[in-house]
Amino acid sequence: MPAQQWAAEGYNIVIFQGGQYQAEANTFAQQHPTIMSVCIDCTVANYSNVYRIWLDLSGGGFVLGAMAGMISQTHKFGLVGGGDIPSIWEGHEGFIAGVTYTSPATPTITNTFEPFAWADIAGAQTTATNDYTNGADVVFSSGDGVDVGVLGAALAQPSTPQVWASNVYTNLTAILPADNKILLGSIVLDYYSPMFKAMEQYVTNDWHWGYTKVDMASGLIAVQPGPNLPAKVKAAGLLLQSEIVEGQIVISFASDSSGAPHCFDSPSASSCADNTLTVPSGGGMPTGNMAAQFNYLPPASTLP
């Protein structure tokens, strides 16, 4: 049912699910100033009645990447995404930073966004199969139908050598059998809390220029490690997660004037080349080129 029809029927709140609806959400908001337009994954609010909920997957991606760097035997990694939008891109960049942080050898990383976007199950399965065939033993997936394709590709691989895959949104550790061999982990989102906050603020008339960030630091995103990861790898991932939640580790991205990440808008900039991440021996601010920026990281050698 089109948003305009909902407006005509007297709805007070209309939700635009995805950054692909950013322009439509702002146009709709201008036409209907008394309706709250909730725009998920949107960087721009041109009108006060656009309420943004920003999904930042970088923390989840980083924790999964750090565990992947520790578990990989080939030091080759694939990433498969749906739409190449800033929030999904941040998750990929977090994963790349995590792999670079813990991998004992220079990693080889293949990063792909499917042309038919989030519902491209077949394309994602083909891409992930190619990644595994070319030696990757971990493939990161960033949600929706892409997850189905990547997990299907992983399950179709021979039992040796061991391969791993991941997913977003659903906690597959609570669904898959306990002896599942391929699940690196799940990035789980709390959608209820930001939606409830938006509706509560609408009722109390405290919603204009509203904004909520859904990320690991806010406690609205968490990683559930896969059931068959080695205990030390799980412990390292959960330690990094707790340090992000507690504010010891802060992940950020330099932004352009539009609010979009600079390295998303200008990926060819020399400062955006993901090639090094060096942590001082005593821990501290990493150096090197990474789109994802960190205020502090402990030396990887000190992780459990």
Question: What is the DSSP secondary-structure string of 126-178?
Answer: HHHHHHHHTT-SEEEE-STHHHHHHHHHHHTS-SSS--EEEEEES-GGGTS-T
Question: pLDDT-derived band of residue 1, with 50, 70 and 90 as boundaries?
Answer: low
Do both 154 and 239 map to the same domain? yes
User: Do residues 184 and 227 share a domain?
Assistant: yes
Tokens found for residue 277: 């991440």
In angstroms, rounded to a whole number, what is the distance separating the alpha carbons of residues 107 and 298?
20
Q: Token pair for residue 167?
A: 């997913």
Is residue 303 over pLDDT 90? Answer: yes
In this prediction, residue 232 carries a pLDDT of: 97
Please indicate, yes or no, whether residues 203 and 179 belong to a single structural domain of this protein: no
Residues 87 and 166 in one domain: yes
| Same domain flag for 62 and 208 | no
Q: Which of 169, 114, 107, 115 is nearest to 138 (CA)?
A: 107
Number of domains in the chain: 2
State whether 199 and 247 are in the same domain. Answer: no
- List of residues 6+ apart from 188 with CB closer than 8 A: 169, 170, 171, 221, 222, 223, 224
What are the pLDDT digits (tens) for 89-127?
A: 999 999 999 999 999 999 999 999 998 788 999 999 999
197/133 same-domain check = no
Q: Are residues 228 and 132 part of one domain?
A: yes
Taking only the tens place, the pLDDT of each residue in 220-265 is 999 999 999 999 999 999 999 999 999 999 999 998 877 778 998 8
Spatial neighbors of 32 by CB under 8 A, at least 6 apart, are 7, 49
The two tokens of residue 272 are 């955006």
Q: Strand 36-40's sheet: what is its strand order? A: 13-17, 36-40, 50-55, 211-214
Same domain (yes/no): 20, 164:
no
Identify whether residues 50 and 85 lie together within a single domain.
no
pLDDT digits (tens, 9 = 90+) for 240-249: 999 999 999 9
- 3-state SS, one letter per residue, for 191-205: CHHHHHHHHHHHHCC
Backbone φ and ψ of 67, nearest 5°: -65, -40
Over 90: is that where the pLDDT of 6 sits?
yes
Same domain for 117 and 140, yes or no, is yes
- The enclosing domain of 166 has a CATH number of 3.40.50.2300
Residue span of the structural domain in which 194 resides: 3-55+190-214
pLDDT class of 276 with cuts at 50, 70, 90: confident
Considering the domain architecture, whether residues 18 and 147 belong to the same structural domain is answered as no
